[in-house]
């Protein structure tokens, strides 16, 4: 009988202790979801015949898919250059001269310093959008040593979902070689 009373006492003690426990469950704070899209206005300053010229435009980006830059003439706001960058290729459309360059990742690897790639560019742009992020990038920071005086300022960021349509080239445009484009840029 004593044994039964002792077991009953232990059982009741366990039940009472279990009843005293909190019903609250500790939950780790939910980390904010990293943005997958980015939109920004931009101001591009490039050297031109010994002077500097500034042009506006916008940047659209969808993580892991595509980065589009549209550069527009001041005042009349007409697009002069469209740059469409994917992890596998770059398409540059020159609207003024009705020409374009399509370069693959392997062609571009030889032009840029080691370590410059799509993922690094994407991270640089997302970091620029963060509070206190570096929103003014130089040509050198973007891997364009020949345009080290060029400056890209990003502002008015949004990470809202966007639809990003690949750029298409009209039949009116002439394809030029990547080397011809490089020569043109070096002569600015």
Q: What is the pLDDT of residues 126-181, one digit of tens each?
A: 999 998 888 898 877 776 666 677 888 999 999 999 999 999 999 999 999 877 77
Measured distance CA(176)–CA(101) in Å, rounded: 6
Measured distance CA(60)–CA(42) in Å, rounded: 10
Q: Tokens for 48, please give them.
A: 């031109």
Contact 58, 70 (CB under 8 A): yes
Which residue ranges make up each domain of the chain?
A: 37-163+171-186
Give residue-wise pLDDT tens across range 52-98.
888 999 999 999 999 999 999 888 889 999 999 999 999 999 998 89
In this prediction the pTM is: 0.74
Which architecture, in CATH terms, is 37-163+171-186? Clam (2.50)
Q: Where are the beta strands (DSSP E) in the chain?
A: 37-48, 51-62, 66-72, 79-85, 89-94, 99-104, 136-138, 151-158, 174-175
Measured in degrees and rounded to the nearest 5, phi and psi for residue 85 equal: -115, 125
């Amino acid at each position: 009988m004593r044994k039964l009373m002792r077991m009953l006492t232990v059982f009741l003690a366990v039940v009472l202790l279990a009843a005293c426990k909190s019903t609250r469950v500790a939950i780790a704070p939910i980390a904010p979801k990293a943005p997958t899209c980015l939109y920004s206005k931009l101001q591009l300053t490039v050297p031109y015949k010994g002077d500097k010229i500034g042009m506006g435009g916008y940047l659209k980006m969808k993580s892991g898919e595509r980065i589009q830059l549209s550069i527009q003439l001041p005042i009349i706001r007409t697009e002069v250059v469209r740059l469409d960058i994917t992890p596998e290729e770059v398409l540059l459309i020159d609207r003024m001269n009705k020409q374009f360059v399509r370069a693959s990742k392997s062609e571009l690897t030889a032009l840029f310093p080691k370590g410059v790639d799509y993922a690094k560019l994407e991270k640089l742009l997302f970091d620029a959008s963060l509070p206190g992020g570096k929103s003014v990038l130089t040509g050198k920071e973007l891997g364009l040593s020949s345009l080290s005086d060029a400056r890209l300022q990003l502002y008015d960021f949004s990470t809202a979902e966007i639809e990003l349509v690949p750029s298409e080239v009209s039949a009116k445009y002439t394809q030029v070689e990547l080397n011809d484009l490089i020569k043109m840029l070096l002569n600015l």
